Amino acid sequence: MFERPSLRDPTKTVKYWIVDSVKKINDMKAWKRVIAVFAYGAKWQFQGYPWDTPAQIFDNSKSIHTSYLIPHTSCLAHPHTHTHTHTHHPPIG
């Protein structure tokens, strides 16, 4: 767990719990407070959620799609060569 001052009211503290297993989230009230779900996409990573499919998991939790790019070996040989990828960011709000 870590804490930080609230951005809305600096006199209050916001607490965050970081868990590495959905088994540690034990009720729907707690699920409504989930702010991030990180997964590589393997099917086993979506077991134990209160929803049946990955689409339902992300529909019922706040989510941001992120990605990273592993440079091709030719890019390492030519440091001025850049590889680009397109990442879709869902609308906020």
**CATH at residue 62:** 3.40.50.11990
Q: Which domain holds residue 38?
A: 2-77
Rounded Cα distance between 10 and 18, Å, is 22
How many folded domains does the chain comprise?
1
User: Alpha carbon 30 to chain centroid distance?
Assistant: 16
Considering the chain, what is the average pLDDT of its residues?
Answer: 75
Q: Is 22 helix (H, G, I), strand (E, B) or coil?
A: helix
pLDDT digits (tens, 9 = 90+) for 24-67: 988 888 888 888 887 777 888 888 999 998 888 888 876 666 66
Residue 84 lies in a domain: no
Section 66-81 average pLDDT: 56
Q: What residue type is 6 in one-letter code?
A: S
| 3-class DSSP assignment, residue 31 | helix
43 in a structural domain: yes
Give the ranges where 1-93 is alpha helix by DSSP (H).
Answer: 28-31, 54-59, 73-77
In a domain, 13, yes or no: yes
Contact indicator for 66, 87 with CB cutoff of 8 Å: yes
Confidence at residue 42, expressed as pLDDT on a 0 to 100 scale: 81
To the question of pTM greater than 0.75 for the whole model, the response is: no
